């Protein structure tokens, strides 16, 4: 039977990346997407902005919405301090299966909890199921029309504290207009736009970093 793009991406990781080396996994995926098939990973240019936000936030507890193949999961996990935890939500079982193997190959599985399920269902369960108090950093990279809804849900569930950082991918392309409108006009957030390019292309894109003011 025909393989899927995530399965071909995973095959490239197994073939080209060194087991236990997260940077080599990131490099193998970027090479695959530049040379073989485009895929909607955050990519290296925006990935370097993601890396700098993770490093400056030095988070103990991170949430990622939209694991896909685990590219940004591996980038984030590889920068986390020793006992920090990254919870990543992915509701497509085929994507989750590929992501688990990418995360394992990178050697960052002990820092990552991949939850196979929908953000709307699992955000309200974070405290009771995983003992989360608040998230220091949230990376939004799932369906763009769900960024705003899930941000409001995180607020309602008391999952953000003063200083919590939201980093949203694709605020230009494909865009998340309702999210940008809300977050840039809310007195509860201080936002900053990082201009960049759509992964593996010359098209314009960018990340929006928003600090919750409490
Ligand atoms: C209702 C469930 C909500 N809750 C959810 N809960 C859990 N998991 C969820 C939820 N909603 C979605 N997911 C999962 O997250 C992933 C979805 C990721 C979505 N990303 C994009 O659409 C995108 C497009 C482009 C793009 C740019 C230019 C183009 F020309 C084409 C494409 C670029 C980019 O960087 C992009 O990230 C994964 C596929 C999907 O199963
Ligand atoms: Mg994206």
Q: What is the mean pLDDT of residues 56-74?
A: 99
pLDDT, tens digit (0-9, with 9 covering 90-100), for 116-149:
999 999 999 999 999 999 999 999 999 999 999 9
Pairwise CA distance, residues 106 & 100, whole Å:
10
Specify the residue with its C-alpha closest to ligand 1, atom 41: 92
For 160-195, the pLDDT digits (tens) are 999 999 999 999 999 999 999 999 999 999 999 999
Flag whether pLDDT at 30 surpasses 90: yes
In whole angstroms, what is the distance from residue 88 CA to residue 68 CA? 10
Determine whether 95 is an active site residue. Answer: no
pLDDT of residue 1: 83
92 within ligand 1 shell (Cβ under 6 A): yes
Q: Is 40 in the pocket of ligand 1 (CB under 6 A)?
A: yes
Compute CA distances 34 → 29, 86, 97, 169, 199, whole Å.
9, 27, 23, 19, 9
User: What pTM did the predictor assign?
Assistant: 0.99
Q: What is the CA radius of gyration of the chain?
A: 16
List all residues 6 or more positions away from 92 whose beta carbon is below 8 Å from its beta carbon. Answer: none
């Amino acid at each position: 039977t025909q393989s899927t793009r995530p399965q071909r991406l995973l095959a490239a990781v197994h073939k080209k990346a060194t087991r236990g080396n997260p940077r080599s996994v990131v490099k193998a995926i970027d090479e695959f997407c530049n040379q073989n098939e485009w895929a909607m990973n955050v990519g290296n240019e925006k990935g370097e902005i993601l890396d700098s936000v993770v490093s400056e936030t030095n988070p103990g507890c991170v949430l990622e919405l939209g694991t896909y193949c685990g590219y940004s999961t591996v980038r984030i996990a590889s920068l986390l301090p020793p006992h920090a935890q990254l919870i990543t939500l992915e509701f497509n079982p085929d994507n989750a299966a590929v992501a688990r193997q990418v995360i394992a190959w990178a050697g960052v599985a002990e820092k990552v909890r991949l939850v196979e399920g929908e953000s709307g269902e699992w955000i309200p369960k974070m405290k009771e199921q995983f003992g989360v108090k608040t998230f220091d950093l949230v990376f939004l990279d799932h369906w763009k029309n769900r960024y705003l809804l899930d941000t409001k849900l995180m607020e309602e569930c008391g999952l953000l504290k003063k200083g919590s950082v939201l980093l949203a991918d694709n605020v230009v392309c494909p865009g998340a207009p309702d999210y940008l409108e809300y977050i840039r006009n809310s007195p509860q957030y201080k936002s900053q736009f990082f201009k960049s390019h759509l992964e593996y292309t010359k098209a314009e894109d960018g990340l929006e970093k928003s600090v919750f003011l409490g």
